A and B are shown apart, each in its own frame.
Chain A
Amino acid sequence: MKKLQYIQGVTITIILFISIALLGQNALAQVQIVTSVPDFASIAKDIGGDKVEVVSLAKGYQDPHFVDAKPIFVTKLNKADLLVYNGLELEIGWLPILITGARNSDILVGNSIGHYNASASIKDKLEVHTSPIDRSMGDIHPGGNPHYMLDPRNGISVARGIAARLIKIDPENAAFYEENFKNFVSALKQKISAWDAQLAPYKGTEVVTYHKLWTYFLDWAGFKLADTIEPKPGIPPTPSHVADLVKKMQAQDIKLIISANYYPQKTPQIIAQKTGSTFLALPTMVEGRDGINSYIELFDAIVGEITSPLKHKEGL
Chain B
Amino acid sequence: MNSSRNFLILIIFTLIFSASINHEALSDESSDVKKELQELRQMMEQMQKKIDALEEKNRALEQQAKQKEKPVKEEIIVVEEETDLTVIEEPAQESQSFLSKVQNTFNPEISVIGTFAAAYYSQNDPIVFAENDPENTGVNVQEIEVGFKSVVDSYFRFDLFLSFSTEGVELEEAYGTTLFSLPLNSQFRIGRARAKFGRINQIHRHNQNFVTLPLPAAQFLGEHLNPTSIEANFLVPVPWYLELSASGGSPDVETPTFARDENANDIGKLLYIFHIANFFELSESLGVSLGGSFATGSNGTAAGERSNLYGIDLFVKYRPLKNNPYQEVMFQSEFMYLDAQTPEETLENWGWYAELVYRFAKRWNSGFRFGIIDTNTPVREVEGEDVETTNLFTSIRNEEGEEEEMLGLLGRTYRLSPMLTFNPSEFSQIRLQYDYLNQDFAENQHAIFLQFQYAIGAHGAHPF
Convert B264-290 into 0s and 1s, putting 1 for each residue whose CB lies closer than 8 angstroms to a CB of A: 000000000010010101001001010
Are B459 and A89 within 8 A (Cβ)? yes
Q: Which of B82, B88, B234, B319 contacts A165 (CB 8 A)?
A: B88
* Interface band, chain B: 35 or more
A123 at the interface (CB under 8 A from B): yes
The minimal Cβ–Cβ distance linking B112 to chain A, given in whole angstroms, is 13
For residue A135, which residues in chain B have a CB less than 8 angstroms away from its CB?
Answer: 425, 427, 456
B296 to chain A: closest residue by CB: A3
Are B461 and A96 within 8 A (Cβ)? yes
The minimal Cβ–Cβ distance linking B275 to chain A, given in whole angstroms, is 12
Are A92 and B459 within 8 A (Cβ)? yes
B16 at the interface (CB under 8 A from A): no
Convert A57-98 into 0s and 1s, putting 1 for each residue whose CB lies closer than 8 angstroms to a CB of B: 001011100101111101100100000000001001110110
User: In the docked arrangement, what's the CA distance between A240 and B277, Å?
Assistant: 48
Q: Which of B178, B322, B362 contacts A61 (CB 8 A)?
A: B322
A59 to chain B: closest residue by CB: B321
Stretch in contact with the other chain, from B90-98, B380-388, B413-421? B90-98
Which residues of chain A from 1 to 41 have any CB-CB distance to chain B below 8 Å in the complex?
10, 14, 17-18, 20-22, 24-25
For residue A168, which residues in chain B have a CB less than 8 angstroms away from its CB?
Answer: 88
A311 at the interface (CB under 8 A from B): no
Convert B67-102 into 0s and 1s, putting 1 for each residue whose CB lies closer than 8 angstroms to a CB of A: 000000001011001101111111100010111100
Stretch in contact with the other chain, from B134-142, B235-243, B345-353? B235-243
Q: Which of A21, A128, A161 contacts B185 (CB 8 A)?
A: A21
B38 at the interface (CB under 8 A from A): no
The minimal Cβ–Cβ distance linking B86 to chain A, given in whole angstroms, is 7
For residue B287, which residues in chain A have a CB less than 8 angstroms away from its CB?
Answer: 68, 70, 72
Are A105 and B86 within 8 A (Cβ)? no
Are B181 and A94 within 8 A (Cβ)? no
User: In the docked arrangement, what's the CA distance between A103 and B321, Å?
Assistant: 28
A262 at the interface (CB under 8 A from B): yes
Convert A108-120 into 0s and 1s, putting 1 for each residue whose CB lies closer than 8 angstroms to a CB of B: 1100110000001
Identify which of A70, A97, A103, A168 gathers the most chain B CB atoms within 10 Å of its CB. A103
The minimal Cβ–Cβ distance linking B330 to chain A, given in whole angstroms, is 10
For residue B206, which residues in chain A have a CB less than 8 angstroms away from its CB?
Answer: none
B354 at the interface (CB under 8 A from A): no
User: In the docked arrangement, what's the CA distance between A104 and B321, Å?
Assistant: 28
The minimal Cβ–Cβ distance linking B311 to chain A, given in whole angstroms, is 15
Are A71 and B99 within 8 A (Cβ)? no
Are A189 and B75 within 8 A (Cβ)? yes
Which residues of chain B from 294 to 343 have any CB-CB distance to chain A below 8 Å in the complex?
317, 319, 321-322, 325-326
For residue A24, which residues in chain B have a CB less than 8 angstroms away from its CB?
Answer: 237-238
Which residues of chain A from 137 to 191 have any CB-CB distance to chain B below 8 Å in the complex?
138-139, 142-143, 160-161, 163-165, 167-168, 177-178, 181-182, 185-186, 189
User: In the docked arrangement, what's the CA distance between A106 and B179, Å?
Assistant: 10
Are B157 and A100 within 8 A (Cβ)? yes
A262 to chain B: closest residue by CB: B325
For residue B362, which residues in chain A have a CB less than 8 angstroms away from its CB?
Answer: 236, 264
B59 at the interface (CB under 8 A from A): no
User: In the docked arrangement, what's the CA distance between A186 and B14, Å?
Assistant: 85
Are B180 and A105 within 8 A (Cβ)? yes
Do A178 and B85 contact each other (CB < 8 Å), given the known contacts A71-B464, A97-B463?
A: yes
Are A74 and B241 within 8 A (Cβ)? yes
B274 to chain A: closest residue by CB: A10
Are A160 and B321 within 8 A (Cβ)? no
For residue A92, which residues in chain B have a CB less than 8 angstroms away from its CB?
Answer: 459, 461
Are B99 and A75 within 8 A (Cβ)? no
Which residues of chain B from 414 to 464 have any CB-CB distance to chain A below 8 Å in the complex?
425-427, 456, 459-464
User: In the docked arrangement, what's the CA distance between A234 and B427, Å?
Assistant: 11
A291 at the interface (CB under 8 A from B): no
Are A161 and B88 within 8 A (Cβ)? yes
Convert A224-239 into 0s and 1s, putting 1 for each residue whose CB lies closer than 8 angstroms to a CB of B: 0000000000111000
User: In the docked arrangement, what's the CA distance between A121 and B234, Å?
Assistant: 35
A133 at the interface (CB under 8 A from B): yes
Are A71 and B279 within 8 A (Cβ)? yes
For residue B180, which residues in chain A have a CB less than 8 angstroms away from its CB?
Answer: 105, 108
A309 at the interface (CB under 8 A from B): no
Q: Which of B88, B234, B427 contacts A21 (CB 8 A)?
A: B234
B391 at the interface (CB under 8 A from A): no
A222 at the interface (CB under 8 A from B): no
For residue A143, which residues in chain B have a CB less than 8 angstroms away from its CB?
Answer: 99-100, 103
A247 at the interface (CB under 8 A from B): no
Q: Which of A93, A186, A235 contacts B78 (CB 8 A)?
A: A186
Are B241 and A133 within 8 A (Cβ)? no
The minimal Cβ–Cβ distance linking B92 to chain A, given in whole angstroms, is 10
User: In the docked arrangement, what's the CA distance between A59 and B322, Å?
Assistant: 9
A130 at the interface (CB under 8 A from B): yes
B203 at the interface (CB under 8 A from A): no
Convert B237-252 into 0s and 1s, putting 1 for each residue whose CB lies closer than 8 angstroms to a CB of A: 1101111100000000
A315 at the interface (CB under 8 A from B): no
Are B363 and A236 within 8 A (Cβ)? yes
* Other 9 A-B pairs with CB < 8 A, given A71-B243, A120-B91: A18-B184, A63-B326, A66-B462, A70-B464, A71-B279, A100-B157, A142-B103, A181-B81, A189-B75
- What are the 10 A-B residue pairs with the smallest beta carbon separation, nearest first? A24-B237, A71-B279, A71-B241, A120-B90, A130-B97, A97-B461, A142-B99, A105-B180, A105-B181, A164-B88
Interface CB pairs A-B, < 8 A, 18: A17-B242, A18-B234, A62-B321, A69-B462, A74-B235, A75-B241, A93-B461, A103-B185, A105-B180, A123-B91, A128-B95, A129-B97, A132-B98, A133-B99, A160-B85, A168-B88, A178-B85, A189-B75
Interface residues, chain B, with chain A CB atoms under 8 Å away: 75, 77-78, 81-82, 84-91, 95, 97-100, 103, 151, 154, 157, 177-182, 184-187, 234-238, 240-244, 274, 277, 279, 281, 284, 287, 289, 317, 319, 321-322, 325-326, 362-363, 425-427, 456, 459-464
